[in-house]
């Protein structure tokens, strides 16, 4: 069996490596002369995701964190995770994934932009996987892709020492616009970034984030790109052609991160192929399964992004109800649906809900409504 993968971003690389592990012949096409460029992703994942990526991930760990500090309008709380949160070197990770693919017998064609599948159909592939990114045009030609909400994101690195063991995310409409901002210490440097639903508000939001975190020096590196936060409709497959990655919105709704969903989809595909399932059926089933998981936090994520004052209230009530005592040290950074489930099952959840009802019944109803929409999706 032989497949073509078009696009050597993370999604294309991880599925190519897992396909090789399943003894599938893979040809990988990439329009650039190098992988990992243009840089755009912060690269923060859970330990679970790092394991799904494999040994290559271990070689690209820049820093580990024990938790996240969540801020909203001068209120804050720290969440501790079950296992370390990991910051990966995103550029080198993709280079190493490509080298691993080549070392294991994969064929790669760099500087090979595919404008039409007629160019490669003569090679009689059993399947074609298009992973051309959110701005790619190839998947659209074959009626594949998603409709949903886009966020404009930016990261700036500052050459300042910071060795903290956690990182910050801030929900407000000052340091971001209908999203959140972040502060990620890396030891000998740090990252400040933000997202904005309105691109006209991105630069001012980033300037405000820099002021908020009291940074007075100039950045030593700047990069960014589009972030997908919530999808409405998705077309994954057209006969033997399947779309994968950002072009179908395979990202976490709350953070826009795509490493976990694509790694999980690739691993599940590999597992099904090894059990004797058809290659394309395995990939389609795996993608749709992961998309269903992601949709369980879709509406809630967008609601919190657009209503940061509710995040502040959640932080305040979490402290009053002691609900964090039951979930700290038990949650996974990438499993957002699991975090919600553990919170609702916590022994102090009734205190949390009672205080919310007293303080802001309208907001509690809105939260419940969005949770119900996600549950029924």
The mean predicted confidence, pLDDT, of the chain is 94
Q: Under 8 Å CB-to-CB from 46, ≥6 apart: which residues?
A: 81, 83, 85, 86, 260, 332, 333, 334, 335
Give 176's pLDDT tier (boundaries 50, 70, 90). Answer: very high
Give 18's pLDDT tier (boundaries 50, 70, 90). Answer: very high
The per-residue pLDDT for range 224-276, each reduced to its tens digit, is 999 999 899 999 999 999 999 999 999 999 999 999 999 999 999 999 999 99
Which domains does the chain possess?
2-35+90-148+232-295 (3.50.50.60), 298-376 (no CATH)
- What whole-number distance in Å separates Cα of residue 255 and Cα of residue 195? 10
- What whole-number distance in Å separates Cα of residue 270 and Cα of residue 6? 18
**Would you list the DSSP string of 135-179?**
T-SHHHHTT-EEEEEEEEEEEEEE---B--SEEEEE-SSSSSBSS
pTM above 0.85, yes or no: yes
Alpha-helical segments (H) within the chain: 10-21, 47-53, 55-58, 90-103, 118-121, 138-141, 202-212, 259-274, 279-295, 298-306, 308-321, 324-327, 336-345, 349-359, 361-376
């Amino acid at each position: 069996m032989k497949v073509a993968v078009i696009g050597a971003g993370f999604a294309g690389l991880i599925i190519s490596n897992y396909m090789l592990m399943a003894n599938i012949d893979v040809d990988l096409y990439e329009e650039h002369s190098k992988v990992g460029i243009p840089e755009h992703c912060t690269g923060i994942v859970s330990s679970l995701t790092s394991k799904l990526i494999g040994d290559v991930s271990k070689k690209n760990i820049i820093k580990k964190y024990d938790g996240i500090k969540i801020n909203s309008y001068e209120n804050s709380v720290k969440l501790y995770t079950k296992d370390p949160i990991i910051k990966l070197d995103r550029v080198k990770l993709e280079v190493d994934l490509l080298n691993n693919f080549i070392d294991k017998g994969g064929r790669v064609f760099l500087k090979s932009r595919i404008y039409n599948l007629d160019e490669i159909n003569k090679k009689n592939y059993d399947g074609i996987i298009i992973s051309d990114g959110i701005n790619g045009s190839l998947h659209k030609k074959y009626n594949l892709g998603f409709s949903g909400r886009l966020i404009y994101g930016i990261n700036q690195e500052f050459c300042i020492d910071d060795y903290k063991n956690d990182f910050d995310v801030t929900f407000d409409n000052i340091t971001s616009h209908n999203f959140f901002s972040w502060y990620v210490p890396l030891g000998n440097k740090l990252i400040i970034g933000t997202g904005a639903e309105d691109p006209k508000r991105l630069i001012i939001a980033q300037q405000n984030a820099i002021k908020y975190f009291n940074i007075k020096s100039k950045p030593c590196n700047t990069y960014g790109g589009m972030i997908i936060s919530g999808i409405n409709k998705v077309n994954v497959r057209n006969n033997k052609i399947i779309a994968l990655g950002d072009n179908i919105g395979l990202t976490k709704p709350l953070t826009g991160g795509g490493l976990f969903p694509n790694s999980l989809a690739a691993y599940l595909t590999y597992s099904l192929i090894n059990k004797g399932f058809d290659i394309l059926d395995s990939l389609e089933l795996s993608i749709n399964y992961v998309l269903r998981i992601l949709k369980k936090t879709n509406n809630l994520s967008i609601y919190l992004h657009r209503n940061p004052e509710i995040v502040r209230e959640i932080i305040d009530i979490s402290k009053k109800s002691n609900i964090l005592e039951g979930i700290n040290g038990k949650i996974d950074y990438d499993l957002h649906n699991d975090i919600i489930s553990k919170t609702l099952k916590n022994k102090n959840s009734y205190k949390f809900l009672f205080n919310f009802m007293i303080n802001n019944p309208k907001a509690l109803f809105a939260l419940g409504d969005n949770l119900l929409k996600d549950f029924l999706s």
